[in-house]
Chain A
Amino acid sequence: MATLGEHARTQPLGRARGGERAPRAVVFLLALWLCLFTGLVFLLVLLVQILIEGWPRLDANLITNYSSLLFPERAGFRAAILGTIWVIGCTAVLAIPLGIAAAIYLEEFADNERWYTRLIEVNIQNLAAVPTIIYGLLTLGILSLMQLVLDFQNRNVVIGGGIALALLILPVIIIATRESLRSIPAEIRAGSLALGATPWQTVWRQTLPAAVPGIATGTIIALSRAIGEAAPLLLLGAVVFIRSDPSGLFSGFTAMPVMIYSLVSQPQEELRTTASAGIVLLLVLLLLMNAVAILIRNRFQRRW
């Protein structure tokens, strides 16, 4: 004999106007799928299109040569690749310790009732949504101040790019680190404190190590965002065609996305192909970084 429960499980609950199979409901569901797939198809077309355009230029010259307007068919991204490495290195050194320290304070020590804690929190949310080009304006101002003290002429320097991008990704790192710290159960902290560890020992030896996978994932994603960012660097004047490798914090540089931008603005057809090839290079790099981030998250993240 079929019980009432079985009956309820086999019969759909919604029966109004034909239930889930009603024509309007089916059309609605199809429309929702269409919304999702429009974005994905767009992405696919973009990738295929750029790969096809850049294909003829995907050779060794692309990496080893400097950019050239005279011989666009042999122009390469050497200065831009090295520039990006220098600037992102700078960004990482500046932003990662600062971001993690700020997150530890806010998550482990801050008193949420205090007005200044709330101010800091609202402020970080706000900074995360400030237009990236504003960070370029800020850095230009900072560099003008630095020029008063230090002796350098050109404002398009590696340290400038590093400062701009570090300030830009700082909120992202703080937010990711806080989320990671928050997922560590309170029992770990309580146990450590109960065994006589000081608050800082607890953070340094228990909470932080447990949060490393989450922090690493968030940091890599933040850095990959910085790598693709061109707007703040434009303001420093990084558009110029540079034919030398960066050699220090105060040497001139250009970066991958800025280089792509300046190639797009040129009328020659060959440079457009070079730009496509550069984009392929940039996207492959970003894809690798994101793959590493996902790998770290899946392999090392513990569920408590």
Chain B
Amino acid sequence: MSTTTVGGGQSSGAGPPSGGSGRQAPTGEVPSLRPSSSRIGERIILNLLFFAAVVSVLTTLAIVVSLVIPTIGFFREISIVEFLTGTRWTPNFADKDYGVLPLVVGTLWTTGIALLVAVPLGLGAAMLLSEYASDRMRRVLKPVLEVLAGVPSVVYGFFALFFIGPVLLDGLLGIEVGTFNVLQAGLVLGIMIVPTVASLSEDAMSAVPSALRQGSAALGANRMQTTLKVVFPAAISGIIAAIVLGISRAVGETMIVAIASGNIAQVVSDPREAAQTMTGFIAQAATGENAVGSLAYNTLYAVGLSLFVITLVVNIISIRLVRRFREAY
């Protein structure tokens, strides 16, 4: 391999490291890779690497700036009170109203239904994999379950619209639903986030020390009792983190709801009806032709910022909880 990429300080690099002061790490620990001498080439490379890591922070900043500026433009024309408390969302009609509540309610419906599916299925699968399955079974079953997360969401949307609604709900279960409805979107959304819930909960349950299981067995409990009364409570913060991450996925998912839950923004009280979600609105209203600075363009960003804030809060809760369960044992 050529060494030309390494740069200036490289040519003299064949000799023993000079001095080595501050290098001696206590035995058993990883020696620090921080340069002890000032080689220019090494420094340039280190700075480039640091810059690459900083790009992620810049991305977050760029997201915030790019969302906030058009949103300010939006609130110059529409009052923030109307946006947050209005119950009619009709930016595409002649009589325009900008109350975001119908979109929020639509999002709550799809997310709620998704959780009703994903929490039991995900936890059940996690308990099976963590407490009952042998190593070999786990090695086979886990990747297969992960495939569910790898299927593109547009495929799930297609399946929800043409199969779950008309064939499963209407045909087999006899639930009368419209072509577009919240129920079919939520059910499929739930299946999509099962791997998210299952995989993180399994990590949390596997992290519970086996001494607790052995203690429970020694007291005469069988595996079901050990799983439900010892392992589950011990892993609870990790499990909640998994569910919270699932919520964040469900709130932010776009294609399933854009295809299957319809694009009528209305406050629904029945999951068999159609309703638009926040992501669904952005997908439907974005045509790539809205002029920068127009109200239609700014509206996208106002909804986008609301979505970003909601998921950010949810994510921070999840990250905190994960850290707590990692520290517990």
Do they bind each other?
A: yes
A interface residues (Cβ-Cβ under 8 A, vs B) = 13-20, 22, 24-25, 28-29, 31-36, 38-40, 42-43, 45-46, 49-50, 53, 97-99, 101-102, 104-106, 108-111, 119-120, 122-127, 129-138, 140-142, 144, 154-156, 167, 170-171, 174, 186, 189-190, 193, 196-205, 221, 224-225, 227-231, 234-240, 257, 260-261, 264-265, 272, 275-276, 279, 282-283, 286, 290, 294
Residue on B nearest A21 in the bound complex, by CB: B222
Give A35 to B253 CA distance when docked, in angstroms: 23
| Chain A contacts for B312, CB-based, 8 A | 126, 130
Using C-beta atoms within 8 Å of the partner chain, give the interface range for chain B.
35 or more
A142/B286 contact (C-beta < 8 A), A131-B307, A231-B279 known: no
Give A30 to B308 CA distance when docked, in angstroms: 40
Give A205 to B226 CA distance when docked, in angstroms: 49
Q: Decide if B39 touches A198 in the complex (CB within 8 Å).
A: yes
B251 interfacial by beta-carbon distance below 8 Å: yes
Give A43 to B229 CA distance when docked, in angstroms: 32
List CB contacts (< 8 Å) of B282-323 with chain A. 282-283, 286-289, 292, 300-301, 304, 307-308, 311-312, 315-316, 318-319
B80 interfacial by beta-carbon distance below 8 Å: no
Q: Decide if B222 touches A31 in the complex (CB within 8 Å).
A: no
A–B complex contacts, Cβ < 8 Å, 6 sampled: A29-B223, A32-B132, A46-B159, A133-B252, A235-B282, A238-B288
| Chain A contacts for B233, CB-based, 8 A | none
Q: Decide if A39 touches B150 in the complex (CB within 8 Å).
A: no
| Chain A contacts for B123, CB-based, 8 A | 35
13 additional A-B residue pairs with CB within 8 Å, beyond A104-B49, A167-B59, A239-B288: A13-B218, A14-B222, A36-B124, A36-B145, A101-B49, A129-B311, A133-B279, A133-B307, A141-B69, A141-B70, A154-B288, A235-B288, A260-B158
- Which of B132, B147, B152, B304 touches A133 (beta carbons < 8 Å)? B304
Residue on A nearest B314 in the bound complex, by CB: A129
Give A186 to B143 CA distance when docked, in angstroms: 29
Q: 10 closest A-B pairs (Cβ-Cβ)?
A: A237-B288, A35-B124, A131-B252, A228-B152, A141-B66, A101-B52, A14-B222, A105-B49, A231-B254, A32-B128
List CB contacts (< 8 Å) of B54-102 with chain A. 54-57, 59-60, 62-63, 65-67, 69-70
B interface residues (Cβ-Cβ under 8 A, vs A) = 1, 3, 5-6, 9-10, 13-17, 30-31, 33-35, 39, 41-42, 45-46, 48-50, 52-57, 59-60, 62-63, 65-67, 69-70, 120-125, 127-129, 132, 141, 143-145, 147-148, 150-159, 161-163, 191, 194-195, 217-218, 220-226, 228, 245, 248-249, 251-255, 258-259, 279, 282-283, 286-289, 292, 300-301, 304, 307-308, 311-312, 315-316, 318-319
| Chain A contacts for B1, CB-based, 8 A | 204-205
| Chain B contacts for A264, CB-based, 8 A | 154, 157-158, 161, 259
Q: Decide if B224 touches A28 in the complex (CB within 8 Å).
A: yes
Give A106 to B144 CA distance when docked, in angstroms: 31
Residue on B nearest A289 in the bound complex, by CB: B150
Residue on A nearest B128 in the bound complex, by CB: A32
- Which of A15, A127, A156 touches B56 (beta carbons < 8 Å)? A127
- Which of B147, B254, B286, B300 touches A43 (beta carbons < 8 Å)? B147
| Chain A contacts for B67, CB-based, 8 A | 134, 137-138
Q: Decide if B125 touches A22 in the complex (CB within 8 Å).
A: no
Residue on B nearest A190 in the bound complex, by CB: B31
Q: Decide if B249 touches A129 in the complex (CB within 8 Å).
A: yes
A137/B218 contact (C-beta < 8 A), A109-B46, A286-B150 known: no
- Which of A16, A125, A131 touches B319 (beta carbons < 8 Å)? A125
A16/B220 contact (C-beta < 8 A), A35-B120, A49-B163 known: yes
- Which of B53, B62, B148, B228 touches A120 (beta carbons < 8 Å)? B53
Shortest CB distance B151–A (Å): 7
| Chain A contacts for B217, CB-based, 8 A | 13-14
Q: Decide if B252 touches A132 in the complex (CB within 8 Å).
A: yes
Among B34, B286, B308, max chain A CB count under 10 A is at B286
Q: Decide if B66 touches A193 in the complex (CB within 8 Å).
A: no
Q: Decide if B319 touches A126 in the complex (CB within 8 Å).
A: yes
Q: Decide if A39 touches B148 in the complex (CB within 8 Å).
A: yes
| Chain B contacts for A122, CB-based, 8 A | 319
Give A45 to B188 CA distance when docked, in angstroms: 13
Shortest CB distance B273–A (Å): 20
Give A122 to B289 CA distance when docked, in angstroms: 35
Q: Decide if B288 touches A106 in the complex (CB within 8 Å).
A: no
Q: Decide if A261 touches B55 in the complex (CB within 8 Å).
A: no
Q: Decide if A196 touches B33 in the complex (CB within 8 Å).
A: no
Q: Decide if A101 touches B48 in the complex (CB within 8 Å).
A: yes
| Chain B contacts for A123, CB-based, 8 A | 56-57, 60
